Structure 1
Amino acid sequence: MVLDSPLPQLDHLFDYSVPEELAGQAVPGVRVRVPLRTAGRVADGYLVELAEPDEAFSGTLSPLEAVVSPVPVLTDPVWRLARRLADRSAGTASDILRLAVPPRMVRVEKAWLAAKEAGAPASAPEDGAAPAPFPVRGYGAGVLEAAVAAGERLALRPIPRLSRLPDGTWVGEWAITLAALATATWRAGSTAIVAVPDHRDLEQLAAALAAIAPGSAVVRADASQSNPERYKGFLAALSGPRIVIGNRSVVYAPAARLGLVAVWEDSDPLFAEPLSPYVHTRDAALVRQELEGGALVLSGLVRSVEAQRLVELGWLRDLGPERAYTPKIVLTANQSADEPAARAARIPSSAWRAAREALSGESGRPRGPVLVQVARPGYLPVLSCANCGQAARCARCSGPLGQRRAGATPSCGVCGALATDWHCSRCEHTALRMVTAGSGRTAEELGRAFPGTRVILADGDHPVLRVGAAPALVVATRGAEPIAEGGYQAVLLLDGERMLARETLHVAEDCLRWWTSAAVLAAAGAPTVLVGVSGDLARDFATGRLADFAREELADRRQLRFPPAVRLASVTGAAEAVDGVLKAVDPDLLIDVLGPVDVDEKTVRAVLRFEYAKGAEVAAAVRATVVRNATQRRRAPGGRPGYRPAPTLRVRFDDPEIL
């Protein structure tokens, strides 16, 4: 059995004997409770395997204390996946199992067992309520379905447009494509798992499946669900072939005869797991497909550099639609406008005219809503000294000062303290000026530039999923853009230069994804205006050369030895613990070591770079050091009884934000 414990020294299988009274319930996968040697403690875990005692073992095994639940919630494929991923990331399998198996809900489980004993039929392809088969559009008759049925691994280029479902709901064509593939997999008697980054994508995918697949076939597993809802869906997935949709942890869902694993927008940072051992959803999908077979589909409006590497290695097959779909993109400089209204709204004349024509119908196109994408939420999220330009900081915690609404006193974005007596630390000036306008200030300015037009604000504090076809100005932060009925008649992409100013390795890839996600919400033939961005990135966006961008980006990273051309592991902790890791790893396994460098007064960080082929050996060496570090006992300072805790140590493989 495996213990449910985050301690690395306990991350291995333990042997226990099965008492006769529990023999009928103790089957692989059930939750069990077992005794530990020390202090009469007990621990929870999962029974992984039953076997006869080893003849060479002459001792006595401790017996299981209890079988907590008769339901085998841990399937063998999920266990093997957790073990492989933990070994690959120098982590513990129990940390992954906590993502894979939801907490037990007794009432839900009893209802499921009662329905099972009563012979309630499981969802099956023969369900008479199932709609007629829905073919995948735009890729040739049966091409995608045949590739998935054959278990191929695909880097799928989607069709960048909105489409209308039979019930009148508008969704991205990508959602219809993945829903059709998942339904075809389910009809063939296998399970399909589809992972999307956030609730907006999940809402589109669920709407597409509602029109294509019967409701009993679809299981939803996402972070917004309550524990009973999540456990109910988990048990449904255990019951037979299903279409399981959800966020990043859905890739660990149980699957009867896995036929398809699909990940939409695998470059989205929401797929980076924030909990140890920090396994990315894309990596989990790749390993699961390798272990269980079935088809693998990585798709997104912008291909990730990681997926491009797999295409060039021949691991993924590049597959796109029959014809190219390129939105109408207009590039314009961020220059002062001629029209007074455009100057007031701080947008170029060309962008202002595109919005005016869409709202009034002057160009002969239908009147409709206009989408305006901005970089930051809030009113004035960033302020600076009006005299010298230095960023304004809080006197209490040094956090950035901003203004939440018009006329409000500036306040700290970290601690919330009001800056009533602020003065510049450099020049002692007391006046502030605007550096960045947020979504609230932009909506206010556009409302003045287009009097009488309805303004809709969509950001984290004002979530909006859909808007109608009536003329309106929709100001949305990146990733929060609602879908307009029939599409937007114009899309304005502001603050592009500010988005590119982020210090991260993935900044160009992220900006392309944000811009493209907004551009595909436009109606057919409607313009998308990108303001203030030029160069190769703007050219690739305007011409639809998104796969070429991924190829060129990968070539640059190979020259610099940046991921995904190589793998890396960041080791953060006390200096002696980090030094122990560096000494434990054979230098011949590494390309080089960056650091250690100081993170704060007590912590340092080092980065190990190595080739993919050496990953298993590096992870094993690092994990052995982590286990030794966790079991270290050191004498306490003189005069203080007991032991000091082991030095802190945090290891993260393939850290997305380290560069």
Structure 2
Amino acid sequence: MTSDGGGTGLIPGLHEVAARPDPTLPSGGKAAAPATRKARKGERSPAAELPVARVAVDVPLPHLDRPFDYLVPDKLDAQTVPGCRVRVRFAGRLVDGYVLERVAESGHDGRLLYLERVTSAEPVLATEIAALARAVADRYAGTMADVLRLAIPPRHARVEAEPPPEPREHEDPVTGPGPWAKYPAGPSFLTALREGRAPRAVWSALPGGDWPDAVARAVAAALAGGRGALVVVADGRDVARVDAALTAELGDGRHVALTADLGPTVRYRRWLAVRRGNVRAVVGTRATMFAPVEDLGLVVLWDDGDDVHAEPHAPYPHPREVLALRAHRTGAGALFGGFTRTTDATRLVETGWAHALAADRAQVRAVMPRVRPAGEDGELARDAAARTARLGELAFRTARAALADGPVLVQVPRRGYVPGLACGRCREAARCTACQGPLALASSHAAPSCRWCGRIAGDWHCPECGHFQVRAVAVGARRTAEEMGRAFPGVPVRTSGRDQILTDVGAEPALVVATPGAEPVAAGGYAAALLLDGRVLLARPDLRAGEEALRRWMNAAALVRPGGAVVVAADGALRPVQALVRWDPATYAELELAERREAGFPPAARMASLTASPAALRELLADARLPDGAEVLGPVPVEDGKERALVRVPPGAASALARALHAAAAVRSARRADEVVRIRIDPLELI
């Protein structure tokens, strides 16, 4: 079967020629007779001009991942505009789609079906976003239909019918450097944005709470240069902080905030304001990476190492890659910032795609907290119990002294009460007899229960030694809060975690126990911070364990006042701990990247993770024409009887690997294979 287009259209290289006929295609998907044919009596007639619509059909099958041509009925001529939503007949059923473009004739000689209807004449799919969606699908070995589901929110007809808001007058934003004056290259970065140029920077932010103000000042500079800007952050709390900073910087009505908790109606209303060009600045969580900002001039990503940025739906695009691709395609500036620096961002600096933007050491020393590891030899000699205790003498002294001046932050890696139990005699992990899930305690008075199925294990006994008593092998935030309350009687203890996340706390003395990412901002900064269970973070079987531990520590320590005390419960000789003590994440990331290069791990190499049943995995690998130099690691067993294989290639072969895997998935799709192999390019978890 030949393609439905002639190879020239909205997106270069979009239309390809299939190798053989495909019996699964419907007649409606076949490009047919020339669009200029005369209509028979009783039939619909095509539009007089540009009668063929090239449609991206919402069918996420890899072997059908291309546009299809349909005739535009004369009565739908005015409504059928590029970017609008349509309904078409495909494989005998009505499906949704988007009009990519209209052309004079189809490049295929067969019968074309008509568009069934135009769902909405609102051009929701911008030309730039359509091209970006195609590029992202190719980058991640996915389909364009899957990317468009992430990029375009569901329609609300009532919102589309609302009259546009009245334009507001606004004053020009302040043009001074503001927080960027602390960085030698900061003022020049803003100047480049105001002049409409495209500076790209990896920003190592100084500790403190003014990073939202710095982001807002960069957005204001881009708007002053006549271009738009978008900001992607990890969660709703960060959105609220940047939203407030943008309002203070730009005034009301010049930007919108997009988050999932807005509700579909409000979210779509704000998204339409961006699409229609009523506002040219937007801040939001990961879906905002596809926001259709008009004449994009700046993309901002805060804390790109946060795993919340990882998209859980196919094709699993990461905002860092999408925004970098988007900045490259549109000639926009880029600002990837955080208190720490990932190896992925370091590679952007190393390749010259971006430049490092950091303060000098004197400025860093003036605002950084004083960090001490609790595992250093001197402390262990004075407090032998600190080798096993979660709160040694150093941490206790630091917290007691700091509580006289303000709140103390206590970071605990795990949520819950006691999330891990083991046999009290032989230390064998305690598991549920029904599903083999891990047992945990929900409170001090609760019986052990399964974290997977919830079954109470009141009569549990160890299958290895027969012992019936359990001991804690992992302690959560709620148990820690109990322990801190007993250690510091009379001091208020507040918790912040998944069940209840605090946005901010006051300046009065208090103990704030929080899990990573849920730390509230304290008025005036925390007097001290205790970073507990550091050994647990560093001992995780993960390639990025050290990098992630440093990110969590620095994000918490950055909330401490300049010169405040930070105690980390880890060995001071370890590289991540040394990076925290010196407040030097860039050097750590550079050393980590060098080691990854020697070992052949991402981001120095590119990898794809393939997960499926053993038979499906072998079939896909047999069909895939992997590029030269590709190395298959595994497969190894994972969960539910499935296996996982890793395919590793040099960075230059990443595109060839994605094409090969997409083609192999298309072959299985055309065969109507029962099982879909999950393909993830550059997965966060490799071990």
Letter in 2 for 1:263: L
Q: Name which of structure 1's ranges 185-194 and 280-289 shifts more when overlaid on structure 2.
A: 185-194
CA displacement at 1:599 relative to structure 2: 3.5
Counterpart of 1:374, as a letter, is V
Structure 2 gap ranges (5+): 1-54
Deviates more, 1:415-424 or 1:326-335: 326-335
Asked if the contact 2:233–2:303 (Cα under 8 Å) also holds between the matched residues in 1, the reply is yes
Structure 1 pair 478/57, CA: closer, same or farther in 2 (3 Å)?
closer
Give the C-alpha shift of residue 133 in structure 1. Answer: 4.2
Partner residue, 2:42: none
**Which residue of the other structure, out of 148, 159, 167, is the alignment partner of 2:206?**
159
Contact 2:259 2:284 in 1 (8 A): yes
CA contact (8 A) 1:345 1:445 kept: no
1:35 aligns with 2:89: yes
Secondary structure, counterpart of 2:68 in structure 1: coil
For 2:262, what is the secondary structure of its paired residue?
Answer: coil
Give the 3-state SS of the residue equivalent to 1:613 in structure 2.
helix
1:461 is aligned to 499
Trace 1:162-173 onto structure 2 (pairs within 5 A): 172-173=209-210
Given that residues 385 and 392 in structure 2 are in contact (C-alpha distance below 8 angstroms), is that contact kept between their aligned partners in structure 1?
no
Q: Which whole-Å deviations, capped at 9, do the CAs of 1:403-454 have from their partners, x for residues lacking one?
A: 1112211111111111110101110001111222211111111111111111
**Alignment equivalent of 1:84, drawn from 128, 135, 159:** 135
Are the structure 2 counterparts of residues 34 and 591 from structure 1 closer, same or farther at C-alpha, using a change threshold of 3 Å? Answer: closer
Q: Secondary structure at the match of 2:88?
A: strand
Amino acid at match of 1:86: A
- Shift in Å at residue 269 of structure 1? 1.0
Report whether the alignment pairs 1:103 with 2:154: yes
Q: Which residue of 2 aligns with 1:233?
A: 270
Deviation at 1:561, TM superposition (A): 0.4
Match of 1:25 in 2: 79
Instruction: Select 1:436's aligned residue among 440, 462, 474.
Output: 474
Q: Distance in 1 between matches of 2:389 and 2:661?
A: 55
1:333 maps to 375
Alpha-carbon distance, 1:653 to partner: 1.1
Q: Deviations over 1:32-70 (max 9, x none)?
A: 11122x43x21110000111104x644332111111111
Kept after mapping to 2: 8 A contact 1:238/1:256: yes
Query: What letter corresponds to residue 133 of structure 2 in structure 1?
Result: A
Q: Distance in 2 between matches of 1:337 and 1:411?
A: 39
In 2, distance between residues paired with 1:503 and 1:261?
33
CA contact (8 A) 1:136 1:144 kept: no
Q: Distance in 2 between matches of 1:225 and 1:657?
A: 31
Contact 2:413 2:476 (C-alpha < 8 Å) held by counterparts: yes
Q: Which letter maps to 1:348?
A: G
* TM-score after normalising by structure 1: 0.90
Correspondence for 1:49 = 101
Counting only pairs closer than 5 Å after superposition, residues 440-451 of structure 1 correspond to structure 2 as 440-451=478-489
2:244 equivalent to 1:244: no
- 1:9 — aligned with what? 63
Residue 210 of structure 1 aligns with which residue?
Answer: 247
Query: What is the CA distance between 1:497 and its match in structure 2?
Result: 0.6
**Match for residue 226 of structure 2?**
189
Q: Give the number of equivalent residue pairs.
A: 620
CA gap 1:337/1:291 in 2 versus in 1, 3 angstroms: same
In structure 1, the partner of 2:601 is 562
Given the superposition, is the C-alpha separation of residues 472 and 339 from structure 1 closer, same or farther in structure 2, using an over 3 Å criterion?
farther
Match of 1:357 in 2: 401
Cα 1:64–1:408 change in 2 (3 A) is same
Mapped to 2, the partners of 1:418 and 1:437 lie a distance apart of 19
Change over 3 Å in CA distance of 1:423–1:602 after alignment to 2? closer
Shift in CA distance, 20/92, structure 1 to aligned 2, threshold 3 Å? same
- In structure 1, the residue matched to 2:450 is 412
- 2:622 matched residue in structure 1: 583
**Aligned residues: percent identity?**
40
Give, in angstroms, the shift of residue 122 of structure 1.
Answer: 4.0
RMSD: 2.2
Instruction: Tell me the SS of whatever aligns to 1:526.
Output: strand
Residue aligning to 2:659: 620
| AA in 2 matched with 1:472 | A
Cα deviation for residue 218 of structure 1 reads 1.5
Change over 3 Å in CA distance of 1:341–1:151 after alignment to 2: same
What is aligned with 2:351?
Answer: 313
Counterpart residue identity of residue 123, structure 2: P
Q: 1:316-395 to 2 correspondence within 5 Å?
A: 316-322=354-360, 323-325=362-364, 326-333=368-375, 346-360=390-404, 367-395=405-433
Name the amino acid aligned to 1:157. S
Structure 1 moving runs of 4+ over 6 Å:
334-345
2:274–2:280: 8 Å Cα contact kept in structure 1?
A: yes
**Does residue 652 of structure 1 match 2:646?**
no
For residues 456-475 of structure 1, the C-alpha deviation after alignment (integer angstroms, 9 at most, x for no partner) is 11111121111001111111
In 2, the alpha carbon distance for the partners of 1:209 and 1:546 equals 28
Instruction: Tell me the amino acid that sits aligned with residue 60 of structure 1.
Output: R
- Greater shift, 70-79 or 474-483, is seen at 474-483
In the alignment, structure 1 segments of 5+ residues that lack a partner are 162-171, 361-366, 634-644
Q: How far has the Cα of 1:132 moved from its partner?
A: 3.9
* Alignment match, 1:531: 569
Matched residues in 2 for 1:505 and 1:456: separation? 33
**SS across alignment from 1:145:** helix
Letter in 2 for 1:397: C
Residues in 1 aligned to 2:266 and 2:123: alpha-carbon distance in whole angstroms: 19
The 1-side partners of 2:625 and 2:142 are apart by 19
Q: Which AA in structure 2 matches 1:80?
A: A
Following the alignment from structure 1 to structure 2, what is the Cα–Cα distance between the partners of residues 601 and 203? 40
1:385 CA drift (Å): 1.0
Q: Hey, what's the Cα distance between the residues in 1 that align with 2:276 and 2:155?
A: 16
Counterpart amino acid of residue 333 in structure 1: G
Q: Give the secondary-structure state (helix, strand or coil) at the position aligned to 2:402.
A: helix
Q: 1:363 matched to which residue of 2?
A: none
Partner of 1:638: none
How far apart are 1:341 and its partner, in Å? 13
Residues 343 and 498 (structure 1), Cα distance of their counterparts in 2 relative to 1, 3 Å cut: closer
Residue in 1 that maps onto 2:5: none
User: Which range is displaced more, 253-262 or 614-623?
Assistant: 614-623
1:600, CA displacement in angstroms? Answer: 5.7
Give the equivalent residue in structure 2 for 1:168: none
1:165 maps to none
Q: Does 1:65 align with 2:116?
A: yes
Q: CA deviation at 1:130?
A: 6.0
Cα deviations by residue, 1:602-621 (Å, 9 ceiling, x for unpaired): 53322111122222222222
CA contact (8 A) 1:337 1:347 kept: no
C-alpha distance in structure 2 between counterparts of 1:234 and 1:614, whole Å: 36
Measured after TM superposition, the shift of residue 652 of structure 1 is 1.3
Task: From the superposition, tell whether residues 579 and 539 of structure 1 become closer, same or farther in structure 2 (CA, over 3 Å).
Answer: same
Residue 639 of structure 1 corresponds to which residue in structure 2?
A: none
Q: Which of 622, 645, 649 is the equivalent residue of 1:610?
A: 649
The 8 Å contact of residues 620 and 668 in structure 2, kept in 1 or not, is answered as no
| Preserved CA contact (<8 Å) 1:457 1:476 | yes
- 1:128 matched to 2:165: no
Residue in 2 aligned with 1:476?
Answer: 514
Confirm or deny that 1:632 pairs with 2:671.
yes
Is contact 1:133–1:212 with CA below 8 Å preserved after alignment?
A: no
CA offsets 1:508-532 (integer angstroms, 9 cap, x no match): 1111111001111111211111123
1:344, CA displacement in angstroms?
Answer: 12
Give the CA deviation at 1:647. Answer: 3.8
8 Å CA contact 1:464, 1:480 repeated in 2:
yes
Q: Is 1:257–2:295 an aligned residue pair?
A: yes
Q: Which residue type is aligned with residue 9 of structure 1?
A: H
CA contact (8 A) 1:337 1:349 kept: no
Task: Tell me the TM-score normalized by structure 2.
Answer: 0.86
SS in structure 2 opposite 1:178?
helix
